[in-house]
Amino acid sequence: MNYGFIRVAAAIPELRVADCAFNVSKIAEMAKEADKKQVQVVCFPELSITGYTCADLFLQQQLLTDALQELHNLQLQTYNTQCVLIVGMPLRISNQLFNVAVVMQSGKLLGVVPKTNLPNNNEFYEKRWFASALATNIAEIKIADEVVPFGTDILFSDGNFSFAIELCEDLWVPIPPSSQHVLQGAELIFNLSATNELIGKHAYLRQLIEQQSARCNAGYIYASAGAGESTTDVVYAGNALIAENGKIVAASERFSYESQLVVSEVDVERLQAERLRNSNFSNSKSTQTYRIIHFDSVKFEIADLQRTFDKHPFVPSLVNRQASCEEIFSIQMGGLAKRWRHTQAETLLIGISGGLDSTLALLVCIKTADKLGFDRKRIIGVTMPGFGTTNRTYTNALSLMKSLGITVKEINIANACVQHFNDIEHDVKQHDVTYENTQARERTQILMDLANKHNGLVIGTGDLSELALGWATYNGDHMSMYAVNSGVPKTLVRYLVDWASHQLDAFSEIILQDVIDTPVSPELLPADEKGEISQKTEDLVGPYELHDFYLYYFVRFGFSPAKILFLAQKTFDDMYDAETIEKWLKVFVRRFFQQQFKRSCMPDGPKVGSINLSPRGDWRMPSDATEFN
C-alpha cells in the first residue's frame, strides 16, 4: 500500500431515465476517467444503469432486458480498465426483483449485493417493485454465462483492505448493514443511493454519514442520484461524499447538470490504528459468516495524493472557535477547581515569565477563582527575573498580573544562582546546561517554598509539546503540584491566549497580544546586545507547528516516521523545504524517546484533547526504549 492510503471515487454520471444504453455509455466514460486517475474503487448511484425514478417501468420486461444487456456492454467497454466498479441496477431472480449493486473489475463480475431495507413512505414505494435481501437465501446467481456470488454477506478484498456495500435506506435504519460489515473486517463502505432533496435534509445526511463512519472506524463513500432523475415529485442533487472516521474529506457540487467524479484517498492504516486502540470495537461479533471475494487492486502514485491535511490538527476551526475555547478552558478550570477545593489550599502559586505558557496558566487560575467565587488575591503570581530576562517579558509579566488583580511578587534569582554556582564550583561565565538549569530549579524551589509558606498549590505551566520534546528542566519547571497546561500543545496555547485576550479589558488585551508576538524562549541565557531575547526555543528544537503535527500523528495513530515525513512534506511544502522537515522530524523522534523519563514522573494535570502523555492514563512507555528510525 501507499502508506496505507486507498484511492476511491464517488461518481455521479449524466443520466436519462430508462435509457440504459445512454446511462451505461456515461458510466463507462467515467470508469475510464477513474482508471486514468488510478482510482482503486469507484461507486455509482443506486440503480444507475436504469435510473432510480423509473417507477412502474421497473415491472416492464423491456427495461429489465435492456438493463441486463447494457450490463454486459459495460463489461465489454471496461474490459481494459483496472479499477473496481460498483453500479446499480434492477435484477430479476426467479420471480423476484431486487435492487442490487453489481461489483466488477476488468469486465469480470465479482459479486452482487441486494438492498436490504426498502423505503415505503410518501416519497418512495420500493416495496411496490422490489424484494428485500431478507426475502431470499440464494447465495449464487447466474448472469449470462457467469456464476456470481449473491447476498449481503460478502466482503471484497485485495489482501490489504476490504470493502462492503449497502444501499441508500440501509444507512438510515437503526442498525445499518455496514455496522455488521465492519465487524467482519470491512474498512470501507460504499453506499449506492438515491436521496432526494428537502430543506435541512442534506445537513442531516452529512451528519449521518460522518457519524456512521466514526462509529464504524471506517471510510464511507456515498454516491447518490443526480439531476438527470425525474423531477415529477422530488428533486435529486447528485451528492457524492467521501468520509473518513467522522469527517467529510471530499464532496461534489450539488445540483450540477454535468457528470462529477469525486476522487480522494482514505487512510486505511489510520482506520486500522483506530480499531486497534478501540478495545470495544470487536465486542459485538456478527453471527453471520461472510464470504471473501478477492480482486487485484490498482497501484497509484502516492506523490499524486488528492487529500489535504490540516497544518494545525490540534487547533479547532474558526467556525467552532467560541465553543471550543470555552470547552477547553472549562476542562482546565474543572480540573484545577477540584484540586484546589480538595486540598483546601489557601492560595495558588504560579511563576509568571511573560511568556505564552505561564500566561495561559494564569488565565486558567483567575477564571477558576472567579468560578469558585474566590478573591483573585488568593492567586500569587511570582515573576523571577534572571540572567536572560528581557525588559519586554519582565514588563509584560508585571503588567499582566496587575491588570488581572492578583497578588504580585518579584524575586530576582541572580544572586541566589551565583551563590549556588560558587557552592558547586561552576564558572558563572560558562553558559552551559548547568548554568541554564540552575535558574529553572531555583525558580521552582522558590515557588515550592512559597507554597509551603502560604498554604498553596504550585501550578505548573509547561505544555504538551514541551512534554513531548522533554523541553523542561528535570525537577525544575518540569515539576509542580498541578499542571493545568499538560494537555494543551503549543499551537493551541497561542490560539487560546488570543481568544482569551478578546474577553478581557482593553489594557489586558494589549498585553496578551504582545505576549503572543513574543518569541518563545526559556530566557536562561543573557539577552543580546540590543537587550532582546537571544535564546529562541524554535531555533533550537524546531518550529512547534511541525512538532505538534508530528506529535499528533505519532501518538494518536502510531504512524511510522516515514509516513509522518511524507504527510508533513505534503502539508508544509509551502513553508519549509523537504530537508528542513526531515531534520526536525529526526529531532522530534530522538527527543521523544530520550526524554520519556521526564514524562514517567510528570505531575497530575487535566487531559484536554485526544492526546495526552500522562503515564497514569494515556501513554505508557519504557524510559529506555530504542528510538525508531
Euclidean distance between CA atoms 336 and 484, whole angstroms: 7
**Any catalytic annotation for residue 490?**
no
Weakest mean pLDDT among 47-56, 238-247, 313-322, 401-410: 313-322
pLDDT digits (tens, 9 = 90+) for 110-146: 999 999 999 887 666 789 999 999 999 999 999 978 8
- Indicate the average pLDDT of the chain: 94
Confidence of residue 284 (pLDDT cuts 50, 70, 90): low
pLDDT for the residue 302: 83
What average pLDDT score do residues 308-337 get? 93
- Provide the grid cell at 491: 499551537
C-alpha closest to that of 3 among 164, 161, 232, 229? 161
| 8 Å CB contact between 500 and 512 | yes
**In degrees to the nearest 10, what's the CA dihedral of 378, 381, 382, 387?**
180
SS3 105: strand
pLDDT digits (tens, 9 = 90+) for 452-502: 999 999 999 999 999 999 999 999 999 999 999 999 999 999 999 999 999
Confidence of residue 301 (pLDDT cuts 50, 70, 90): confident
Number of H helices, E strands in the chain: 18, 20
**Any catalytic annotation for residue 37?**
no
* Helices 321-343 and 356-372, packing angle to 10 deg: 70
The residue annotated as part of the active site, out of 14, 33, 70, 115, is: 115
| 8 Å CB contact between 253 and 42 | no
DSSP string, 458-527: EEE---HHHHHHT-S-TTTTT--SEETTTT--HHHHHHHHHHHHTTS-HHHHHHHHHHHHSPP----S--
**In degrees to the nearest 10, what's the CA dihedral of 496, 497, 498, 504?**
110
What's the DSSP call for residue 296?
P
Share of the chain above pLDDT 70, in %: 99
- Per-residue burial over 356-390, b if 16 or more Cβ lie within 10 Å, else e, is bbbbbbbbbbbbbbeeeebeeebbbbbbbbbbbbb
C-alpha closest to that of 139 among 126, 152, 157, 124? 152
Q: How many other C-beta atoms lie within 10 A of the C-beta of residue 303?
A: 8
Confidence of residue 446 (pLDDT cuts 50, 70, 90): very high
**In degrees to the nearest 10, what's the CA dihedral of 488, 492, 495, 500?**
-10
C-alpha closest to that of 551 among 515, 519, 599, 518? 599
Confidence of residue 1 (pLDDT cuts 50, 70, 90): low
pLDDT digits (tens, 9 = 90+) for 533-590: 777 888 899 999 999 999 999 999 999 999 999 999 999 999 999 999 999 999 999 9
Domains of the chain: 5-304 (3.60.110.10), 318-538 (3.40.50.620)
The residue annotated as part of the active site, out of 46, 169, 229, 244, is: 46
**Any catalytic annotation for residue 43?**
no
The residue annotated as part of the active site, out of 20, 54, 168, 417, is: 168
